[in-house]
């Protein structure tokens, strides 16, 4: 009997709950018909008081379960709606210019608990790092999650938002390190930059093409993970190890950037990054494209780094420049950037940065695919990229020709002030 009695009571409770729930559902459906998309957009434009009164009016118009239905539809507190109803009934009066009662709203946690900042300062002192040579440079070696955990260990529960707020109040801001400090002081660095700028401006005024050249870092071909994301219909899978033995070869991207026309020429090689490789690329790009853009040019200006295949100190690069000047029948003005200053070379941020973006997110399965993606590279400033493949094999550790010394004396004119970084290679003997 007791079991049957209890069962009957449970059934009654279920019926009552079901009836009330159905009523709420019905009213919610009614509300959905009352609140159109235009109404919902209108609500978003109201201030706090107007929003409260508007929702209270709609709740009253719906009738029974109106407050519950409004709360369920637009996620507003029922206390807020009841407050609006009291205002409409004249039980609570606010001036038309007042949005909320004086002192209303939640008090800031840090105002209520100033001891939180005291504890934060103690934590910061234990987890602060910096540069020994500069006391003004300081940073935290602790994360927001770790700050929250330390507070929890002290019996205080705070949100990540409060932790970030304390970090900001103490003058810390999330920053990244910038490559602005040189490894060491280079003699005549500033003087070279002044000479480089003067040479650049003079060449532009005289109609001499200014070309920035460099070799981008090597890339492995194969199904390897690359930085960045791309749109796809399903999850992309790559090899879990980036071993050279798993690759389909390596490509060497060499670029030539026309600084005045904003056009980049990318040559993808698969052999070695040598001085011969660089000069061959310049010769081919000039004959195929640039000579038609500069039909009256009698010389070209090349801006390049001071190391690698276009080293300022290696004679093999100058030897190949002599051959290049003879082949093109052009005088070549060479201006090297000082050591540790390669990032200032225009090709780095005007061409290579955008090619890296085009290659991001997807594996480079072949040289042809890398070439295709490079050709599609563009910017809002109108960058044009022309990419091609150079399959020639290049020999390393080559020796100088016997005629190099005599040709160098006759045809290479070095700058009087900074001869190591600035010189002109004549196409014919002076």
Determine the Cα–Cα distance for residues 44 and 51; give it in Å rounded to an integer: 8
Phi, psi angle pair for 24, to nearest 5°: -65, -45
Per-domain residue ranges of the chain: 2-88, 109-169, 189-394+403-425
Q: Are 307 and 337 in contact (CB under 8 A)?
A: no
Determine the Cα–Cα distance for residues 255 and 386; give it in Å rounded to an integer: 10
Q: Note the pLDDT of residue 211.
A: 97
> HEC profile for 66-98?
HHHHHHHHHCCCHHHHHHHHHHHCCCCCCCCCC
Determine the Cα–Cα distance for residues 51 and 34; give it in Å rounded to an integer: 16
DSSP string, 341-379: -GGGSHHIIIIIHHHHHHHTTS----HHHHHHHHHT---
- Domain 189-394+403-425 fold is Nucleotidyltransferase; domain 5 (3.30.420)
> HEC profile for 147-202?
HHHHHHHCCCCCCHHHHHHHHHHCCCCCCCCCCCCCCCCCCCHHHHHHHHHHHHHH
Q: Note the pLDDT of residue 130.
A: 62
Global pTM reads: 0.65
Q: Note the pLDDT of residue 93.
A: 63
Both tokens assigned to 98? 């007042």
Q: Note the pLDDT of residue 28.
A: 46
* Series of mean pLDDT values for 10-residue runs along the chain (430 residues): 48 50 48 63 80 85 83 81 85 63 68 87 78 63 87 90 88 74 78 94 94 93 79 74 80 96 96 95 96 94 93 94 95 94 92 92 89 93 95 92 92 94 88
Bridge partners (DSSP) listed for residue 130: 138
Both tokens assigned to 418? 């900074």
């Amino acid at each position: 009997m007791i079991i049957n009695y209890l069962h009957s009571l449970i059934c009654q409770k279920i019926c009552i709950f079901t009836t009330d729930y159905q009523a709420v559902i019905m009213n919610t459906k009614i509300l959905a018909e009352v609140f159109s998309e235009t109404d919902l957009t209108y609500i978003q434009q109201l201030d706090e008081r107007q929003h409260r009164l508007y929702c209270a009016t709609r709740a009253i118009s719906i009738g029974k379960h109106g407050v519950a239905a409004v709360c369920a539809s637009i996620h507003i507190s029922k206390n807020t709606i009841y407050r609006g109803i009291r205002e409409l009934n004249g039980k609570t009066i606010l001036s038309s210019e007042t949005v909320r009662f004086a002192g209303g709203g939640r008090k800031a946690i840090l105002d209520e608990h100033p001891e939180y900042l005291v504890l934060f300062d103690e934590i910061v002192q234990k987890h602060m790092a910096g540069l020994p040579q500069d006391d003004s440079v300081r940073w935290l070696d602790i994360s927001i999650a770790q700050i929250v955990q330390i507070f929890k260990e002290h019996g205080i529960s705070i949100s990540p938002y409060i932790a970030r707020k304390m970090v900001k109040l103490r003058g810390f801001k999330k920053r990244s390190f910038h490559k602005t400090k040189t490894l060491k002081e280079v003699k005549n660095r500033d003087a070279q930059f002044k000479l480089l700028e003067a040479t650049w401006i003079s060449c532009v005024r005289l109609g001499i093409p200014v070309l920035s050249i460099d070799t981008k870092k090597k890339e492995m071909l194969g199904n390897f993970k690359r930085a960045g994301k791309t749109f796809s219909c399903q999850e992309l899978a790559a090899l879990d190890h980036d071993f050279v033995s798993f690759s389909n070869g390596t490509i060497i991207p060499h670029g030539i950037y026309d600084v005045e026309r904003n056009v980049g020429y990318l040559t993808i090689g698969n052999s070695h990054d040598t001085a011969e490789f660089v000069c061959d690329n310049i010769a081919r790009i000039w004959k195929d494209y640039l000579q038609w853009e500069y039909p009256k040019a009698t010389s070209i200006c090349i801006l390049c780094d001071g190391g690698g295949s276009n080293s300022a100190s290696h004679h093999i690069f100058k030897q190949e420049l002599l051959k290049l000047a003879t082949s093109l029948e052009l005088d070549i003005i060479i201006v090297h950037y000082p050591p540790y200053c390669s990032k200032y070379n225009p090709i780095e941020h005007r061409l290579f940065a955008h090619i890296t973006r085009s290659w991001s997110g997807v594996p480079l399965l072949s040289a042809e695919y890398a070439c295709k993606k490079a050709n599609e590279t563009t910017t809002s400033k109108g960058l044009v990229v022309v990419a091609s493949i150079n399959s020639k094999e290049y020999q390393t550790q080559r020796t100088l020709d016997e005629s190099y010394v005599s040709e160098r004396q006759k045809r290479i004119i070095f700058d009087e002030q900074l001869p190591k970084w600035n010189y002109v290679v004549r196409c014919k003997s002076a």
